[in-house]
Amino acid sequence: MNVVFLAPSYPPEMQQYTRGLAEVGANVFGVGDTPRRGLPPSLKPHLADYLQVPRIMDEGDVIKRVSAWLRGRQIDRVLSNWEPLVILAARLRERFGLPGMSVDTVLGFRDKQLMKERVKAAGLRVPYSFKVKSEREIREAAEKIGYPLILKPIAGAGSADTYKCTSKPELESAIAAMRHVEVASCEEFIDGEEFTYDTVCIGGRPAYENVAAYLPKPLIARTNEWISPVIITVRDLEQPKLKPGLTLGRKVLKALEMGDGFTHMEWYLTSKGEAVFGEIGCRPGGAHLVDQMNYTGDIDLFREWARVACWRSFEASTRRKYNAGIIFKRAIGQGKITRITGLREYLRRYGDAVVEEQLLRPGTQRRNWKQTLLSDGHLMVRHPNWDEAYKMSFAAATDVTMYAGG
């Protein structure tokens, strides 16, 4: 099994998928713009070969270079788990006549407006929305939708460049802030709890399912620096509260003709118990969500995804043992981290439940919290009981404090 895997070293979690592919017997041919000498030593043993390209986002150039590089070799799969490259992977599959989702199918997971149109056509509830390419179109869409509304990139990931507008002045501010975005989605604001629905699918059918709760909502966390965002995977997927979301998610997969691999969907649960579709990608969630899912069931989804992608087989247990919470910390102040308070006491109280502690250490430059959910590091905890996992997660959010200065 010879597999071309796009961007095997960046983002960093792609190194784990490369490992997974090698461990299930694939010969991994990596393609990326990281120089060969810059590849992490731990990654190199998992690569059969590597092609450095000047610009991984330049689809035409990459297709030409990969075609020349692979001449005379047999390739069985072309894969990517990074959102910006899923279309390129589909184009390469079509170029070489390989199995996997087509460009048109993948576009349904990438273009937010097309995505909503296809989901709506299947009779599922989606936010009222418009695809907009100019300031005039944004204002016209806002008049039709009314306030509050959401303005966000049509092909973005996460909550980057996403704005909630409750009035015309707020809309004008958002328009000014988004002038670098070529195509956007202007849509109805849905008020409700926000969850993920994550799967590993074989032929569009979930071999593995996960739900995680965003606490607070991503848009709130992305607009208030003092918040420590919390995400908790839910152990008990059988509870009635989540049934509408699981049902919705399975129908969305069918509507978008999902094939093999990871999906990451976001959905809303309104106060009336209605599940409303948000958006979905045919790739894994970022920000250590796959690590959380691994801790939830003591499995290795990096390897199981690879087994599905190569052999269409999922062998891990789907038994959920824990609620796993991740807490992203943001330092007070700017510059370099100067100190961390409350961590020692927190670890003394909850250490048995802490599975990861990766906070930036004093002397390290702060990350830009607006550009990455990872912020200044994280703690991860797990517990079989939801209330205990919730309590420990929010104790980390409130009792551990990081400071920066200089």
Domain boundaries, the chain: 2-100, 112-118+190-321, 128-188, 322-406
pLDDT value for 80: 98
Say whether pLDDT at 317 is over 80: yes
Which of 339, 331, 340, 346 shows the shortest CA–CA distance to 381? 346
pLDDT digits (tens, 9 = 90+) for 84-123: 999 999 999 999 999 999 999 999 999 988 999 999 999 9
CB atoms within 10 A of CB 202: 20
DSSP for residue 114:
H
Q: What is the pLDDT of residue 162?
A: 87
pLDDT at residue number 158: 55
Segment 249-268, tens digit of pLDDT: 999 999 999 999 999 999 99
Q: Does the pLDDT at position 167 exceed 70?
A: yes
The reported pLDDT for the residue numbered 219 is 86
Instruction: Report, at the CATH architecture level, how domain 128-188 is classified.
Output: 2-Layer Sandwich (3.30)
Q: Which token pair is 290?
A: 């796959």
Q: Could you give phi then psi for residue 313, rounded to 5 degrees?
A: -140, 140
Please give the CATH number for the structural domain made up of 112-118+190-321.
Answer: 3.30.470.20
Query: What is the average pLDDT score of the chain?
Result: 96
pLDDT level of residue 370 (50, 70, 90 thresholds): confident
Helices (H) and strands (E) in the chain, counts: 13, 18
CA dist list (Å): 278 to 60, 108, 171, 370, 390: 31, 13, 21, 21, 24
Q: In 37-136, at which residue ranges do the beta strands (DSSP E only) sit?
A: 49-52, 77-79, 129-132
Question: Tell me: domain 2-100, CATH 3.40.50.20, correct?
Answer: yes
Say yes or no to pLDDT of 346 above 80: yes
pLDDT digit string (tens) for 128-153? 989 999 999 999 999 999 999 999 88
Asked if residue 159 has pLDDT above 70, the reply is: no
> Are 310 and 77 a contacting pair, CB within 8 Å?
yes
Q: Dig out the tokens for 297 from the structure.
A: 């069931």
> What integer pLDDT is reported at residue 157 of this predicted model?
61
| pLDDT tens readout for residues 6-31 | 999 999 999 999 999 999 999 999 99
Whether 128-188 and 112-118+190-321 are alike in CATH topology: the answer is no
Pick the more confident residue, 18 or 154. Answer: 18
List the single range of 30-34, 164-168, 196-200, 376-380 with lowest mean pLDDT.
164-168
- The pTM of this model reads 0.92
CA–CA separation, 108 vs 85, rounded Å? 14
Q: What pLDDT is attached to residue 289?
A: 98
